[in-house]
Amino acid sequence: MEIRGTGSYLPGKIITNDDLSEVVDTNDEWISSRTGICQRHISEGETTSEMAAKAAVAALEDAEVSPEEVELIIVATMTGDEAMPGTACKVQKEIGAVHAACFDLSAACTGFVFALNTANAYLASGMYRNALVIGADMVSKVIDWTDRATCVLFGDGAGAVVLTCTDKKGYRFISHSDGSMGNALMLEHHYDRNLETEQRRLSIEQSASSKVSMDGQAVFRFAVRRVPQVIEEVLCINGLSREEIGCYVLHQANQRIVEAVAKRLKEPLEKFPMNLQNYGNTSSASIPILLNELDQSKRLKTGDRIVMAGFGGGLTWGASIAEWI
């Protein structure tokens, strides 16, 4: 598997920490010192599939691959436009990838890494020659805007990569889950239906009010323990040492998590690029958005070996390795 191209899309509206302090009882000092986040982009009417399609078009242009050549589209998202059709199918229609098989994958903030690992397995099997892997989330539509503990953390966005088969020996990837910890991070659906019209209406209203809830400290402890472990694990099974890694592209949830991971791995913080100050936690989109920025700013050079590591609801966590071409 080679990453042939990257793309991203952020909605135009920016909400700063000061803006948020007018909505809930918070302030810039609390948010930036505890999370590193200064602002986030929020969709004003754009859907998750529209953001995903824009990121996909940018990645295809970067890769110089036409939509007709794409054979697989996986969209990692927990905030798809509808339960059916899948967001990947809507992206297919929007960009004209008429030959692609398309499906969504739900692994919360680890979604992009799980989707990358899934696409890699398809490519390695010889079933497909190229794939579009997209992370897209619009957490703003499922956040409780009265809950200061969660609403300050997230932003909307989409990122995409184009993957193609290569003859070179590939890397082995890692995906992990621990369902027993699922309550630490939740976005509930209310699918209990009743044929009585009124109850059905109430049920739909409930569904529309599904909100993210989180045990922040449990998630923090989970992340700073599991992410260094999975990075060590992915290096070990690929016979690589930390010195052979140019940079670590982690899910952008929180600056303190990234710093703690660097410390536990005894690696310099400079090897852990961050952009969460500008975008907040964009869930499954955070890693491909950061990849695209690193690519465009030429921070990633041909031959650089990178580790991507995600963590999130489920709980789920995983890591992938790529060599920049």
Output the smallest distance, CB 77 to ligand ACO, in A. 14
End-to-end CA distance of the chain: 11
- The reply to whether 281 belongs to the active site is yes
Query: In 10 A of CB 196, how many CB atoms?
Result: 10
Q: Are strands 39-42 and 2-9 parallel, antiparallel or unpaired?
A: unpaired
Output the smallest distance, CB 123 to ligand ACO, in A. 27
Token pair of 172, please?
């082995």
- Residue 149 or 269: the one with the smaller Cβ distance to ligand ACO is 149
Output the smallest distance, CB 245 to ligand ACO, in A. 22
The tally of CA atoms less than 13 A away on the side-chain side of residue 178 is 14
User: Using CA atoms, how far apart are residues 195 and 236, in angstroms rounded to an integer?
Assistant: 55
User: Using CA atoms, how far apart are residues 248 and 267, in angstroms rounded to an integer?
Assistant: 10
Output the smallest distance, CB 11 to ligand ACO, in A. 19
Output the smallest distance, CB 232 to ligand ACO, in A. 19
Contact 163, 119 (CB under 8 A): yes
Q: Which member of 102, 109, 151, 247 is catalytic?
A: 109
Residues contributing to the site for ligand ACO (CB under 6 A): 26, 30-31, 34-35, 109, 148-149, 152-153, 185, 214, 216-217, 219-220, 253-254, 256, 281, 311-312
- Residue 38 or 165: the one with the smaller Cβ distance to ligand ACO is 38
- Residue 130 or 150: the one with the smaller Cβ distance to ligand ACO is 150
- Residue 2 or 137: the one with the smaller Cβ distance to ligand ACO is 137
Q: Which member of 120, 130, 281, 292 is catalytic?
A: 281
Residue nearest to ligand ACO (CB): 216
CA–CA distance from 230 to each of 3, 241, 282, 313 (Å)?
21, 14, 21, 16
- The reply to whether 275 belongs to the active site is no
- The reply to whether 109 belongs to the active site is yes
- Residue 103 or 220: the one with the smaller Cβ distance to ligand ACO is 220
Which residues does 114 contact at the CB level (< 8 Å), separation at least 6?
A: 76, 105, 107, 175, 310, 316, 318
The sign of the CA dihedral 43, 134, 258, 306 is negative
Q: Which member of 120, 130, 151, 251 is catalytic?
A: 251
Residue 26's SS3 state is coil
Residues identified as active-site: 109, 251, 281
